[in-house]
Structure 1
Amino acid sequence: MTGGQATRVLVDATSVPADRGGVGRYVDGLLKALDGLDADLAVVCQRTDAERYSRLLTNAEVIGAPAAVAHRPARLAWEQTGLPLLAQQVGAQVLHSPFYTCPLRASCPVTVTVHDATFFTEPEHYDKSRRTFFRSAIKTSLRRAARVIVPSKATRDELIRLLDADPTRIDVAYHGVDHEAFHAPSDDEKARVRARLGLGDTPYVAFLGAKEPRKNVPNLIRGWVAAVADRERPPALVIAGGSGHDDDIDQVVAEVPANLRLLRPGYLRYADLPGYLGGALVAAYPSHGEGFGLPILEAMACAAPVLTTPRLSLPEVGGDAVAYTGESAEEIGHDLASLLDDEPRRLALAKAGFDRAKEFTWESSAEVHLAAWARAAAG
């Protein structure tokens, strides 16, 4: 707040993808919470999202961006020219860019969210053009933005260590979880998802996320095979989420023994996610590293026992309420098998994760954003 008045902020939501993946969950959750706190907001979004945001937000001014910004090159060009102009037109005191890139010149201070530093810490998990683009964007944002918002202390520490970022200009705002959307599911919700997936009464291990190399899906598949192949009633593995660009997955899937069931249903309906995650024996997420780890928080909120890695930010989110494993297929296989054999431990993790997830709210995240914007506006 500046001078007792709310800081007027223009939030650029044009980078939100239609599938409402990680960045969509962040922007949607944050905007809804900010609206509940009566923030003075203007939101610019893709035209296809304008009606949705108008329904979601009661206090904000919602503006549809030019139709051309649906294409990424045009969006990035508009971000440099049209977005600063729009900030002037709506009287913004701060312009917030929620996805790595930001305008180089604007008439008001610019703040930017940098979601992770894995383009520097895990470069081998990205193709060259993507890695080059995001490394450059992050360096530029660290140099140009009045404040940088990150979703974890691990991300802040990596930016300081690797890029000599100014710690006094970085604010840590943990993501929240929508506790209405992600909740402990009823038996009916679980049964509906099983029916949709054609699982019958077969128990299953769940993965939910983009299938990109950093998510370590090939080793998850190999580890699951090692953990269940010799069981009388082997649990299925369900790999749900976007298609991504990990070419190794198809090859590993082809090697799965014929007696095991592996399902790849693609995107699941948002309403099915609690039943899917909360209905699993284990929600497995053996990532090589995350800037935050929203998928494990969402699984915890659905009362699923979670198996993940202690990499980067994941222990900040999971704490003692999740089980940890290594990144190799052998480690995943060993730790997954011991969880599958230990129902009391799975039940204890499910309860601990559910309780811990309540500590992460979009309201808390929104308050950190508001404070960062007030600091940016005050110069």
Structure 2
Amino acid sequence: MHVLLDATAVPADRGGVGRYVDELVPELDTAELDLTLVVQRRDVEHYRRLAPRARVVAAPAWTARRPARLLWEQVGLPALVRRIRPDVVHSPHYTMPLLTRTPVVVTLHDATFFTTPELHLRSKAVFFRTAIRIAARRAARLVVPSRATRDEVVRLVGARPEKFTVAYHGVDHDLFRPTSVEEQTRVKESLGLSATTYVGFLGTLEPRKNVPALIQGWVAACEDRADPPVLLLAGGRGWDERIDAVIDEVPAHLTVRRTGFLPLEDLPAFLGGAVVVAYPSLGEGFGLPVLEAMACRAPVLTTRELSLPEVGGDAVAYCGTDAASIGRELAALLDDPERRALLAEAGAERAAGFTWAVAAGLHAETYEAASVR
């Protein structure tokens, strides 16, 4: 089967859809597929390394800007499809080409543009609601990363349940693994920490991640401790305008720091070195940082919103989304090293079952189903 995967939506910083595509492609490349990748010019060599068996085609340079890419998707991509004649097109980030008779598989990462639109930029929420509706109606098959996402799209858009494949994300177990004390110390020192313990968060600082409530909950859990852990917020700055004001209210004897993006190779030690990894999200299509922290044998505190219990199961601790609940559950974990150790072991064991090889196999089955509709 010949599959054309359009990777032109992958951003330069590899966030979001980039992590998904970059992990999926090497596994698809080893499957019994004839794979063509359409990529941004900056990514040609990157994908040749990831998928040495695949054909890699560069999109025009002007598609690097999002509006231009979307235009090319509707005009240039159908022309490419007519020229190379794949059996299936995979559009991995909500949108899809409409002017093609070739079956299209679309990945929908979450439905929060409908359920919590106030957590997104307004223009983004409107655009992606429209894209999801179109994909639900026009795509041959839909891939989602969780049952929660499938159920939300079915409920909100009226999509047919039989069109969906639930393909859980995997985790790169070669990268995200338990790390040594020496590795953790190196990363701590690179962040200006010495012997200090820390609570870690990893993710874009956007409203959906609920970081202001995390900061307030951490303050409540730590302000009376003799040796309070630092709160480290790792990831892109995002657009949550409340964070600065909440940080300004943090007592002077407590320390909260935004680290920005960390090198990918430092993430396992950052996660594994945290006394707790806290991820009190208001809703996720999957929640990859939770799985990655579990794979690094970190005790994790998260919420029961949408897909997160599908990822964490009984191997993580749960809190509500409000600051009081976050503070209460975080304090309980900080006071209970034995429970933290049990969660760390249970998390690593559960994470071992999430692999990109399994995800790729489900994608391949979806391509087959789409091609014979």
Q: Which TM-score bucket, shorter chain as reference?
A: over 0.9
Partner of 1:128: 122
Partner of 1:211: 205
Once the two structures are TM-superposed, the CA of residue 340 in structure 1 deviates from its matched residue by: 0.5
Q: Distance in 2 between matches of 1:38 and 1:61?
A: 14
Select 2:303's aligned residue among 292, 305, 309. 309
Partner of 1:92: 86
Q: Distance in 1 between matches of 2:134 and 2:305?
A: 26
Once the two structures are TM-superposed, the CA of residue 188 in structure 1 deviates from its matched residue by: 1.7
Q: Does 1:281 align with 2:275?
A: yes
Once the two structures are TM-superposed, the CA of residue 63 in structure 1 deviates from its matched residue by: 1.0
Q: Distance in 2 between matches of 1:141 and 1:34?
A: 22
Amino acid at match of 1:285: Y
Once the two structures are TM-superposed, the CA of residue 22 in structure 1 deviates from its matched residue by: 2.3
Select 1:62's aligned residue among 56, 60, 64. 56
Once the two structures are TM-superposed, the CA of residue 91 in structure 1 deviates from its matched residue by: 2.3
TM alignment of 1:230-309, pairs within 5 A: 230-309=224-303
TM alignment of 1:322-337, pairs within 5 A: 322-337=316-331
SS of the residue 2:257 aligns to: strand
Select 2:135's aligned residue among 137, 141, 150. 141
Considering only aligned residues, what root-mean-square deviation do their CA atoms show, in Å?
Answer: 0.8
Q: Distance in 2 between matches of 1:127 and 1:267?
A: 21
Q: Distance in 1 between matches of 2:19 and 2:318?
A: 25
Partner of 1:321: 315
SS of the residue 1:89 aligns to: helix
Q: Does 1:26 align with 2:20?
A: yes
Amino acid at match of 1:25: R
Q: Distance in 2 between matches of 1:129 and 1:91?
A: 34
Q: Distance in 2 between matches of 1:69 and 1:351?
A: 45
Amino acid at match of 1:92: P
Q: Does 1:357 align with 2:351?
A: yes
The more displaced of 278-287 and 126-135 is 126-135
Unaligned runs of 5+ in 1: 1-6
SS of the residue 1:63 aligns to: strand
Unaligned runs of 5+ in 2: none
- CA offsets, 1:324-370, max 9 Å, x none? 00000000000000000000000000000001001000011101110
Once the two structures are TM-superposed, the CA of residue 179 in structure 1 deviates from its matched residue by: 0.5
- CA offsets, 1:218-257, max 9 Å, x none? 0000000110011000000000001111000111111111
TM alignment of 1:124-203, pairs within 5 A: 124-203=118-197
Partner of 1:3: none
Q: Does 1:44 align with 2:50?
A: no
- CA offsets, 1:145-197, max 9 Å, x none? 00011000011111111111111111111110111111111112101110110
SS of the residue 2:328 aligns to: helix
Amino acid at match of 2:14: R
Once the two structures are TM-superposed, the CA of residue 65 in structure 1 deviates from its matched residue by: 1.0
What TM-score do the two structures reach when normalised by structure 1?
Answer: 0.97
Amino acid at match of 1:61: R
Q: Distance in 1 between matches of 2:3 and 2:170?
A: 20
Amino acid at match of 2:294: M
Runs of 4+ in 1 over 4 A off after TM superposition: none
Contact 1:22 1:294 (8 Å CA) reproduced = no
SS of the residue 1:304 aligns to: coil
Partner of 1:220: 214
Q: Identity over aligned residues, as a percent?
A: 58
Partner of 2:111: 117
SS of the residue 1:311 aligns to: coil
Number of residue-to-residue matches in the alignment: 373
Q: Distance in 2 between matches of 1:138 and 1:212?
A: 21
Select 1:375's aligned residue among 356, 369, 372. 369
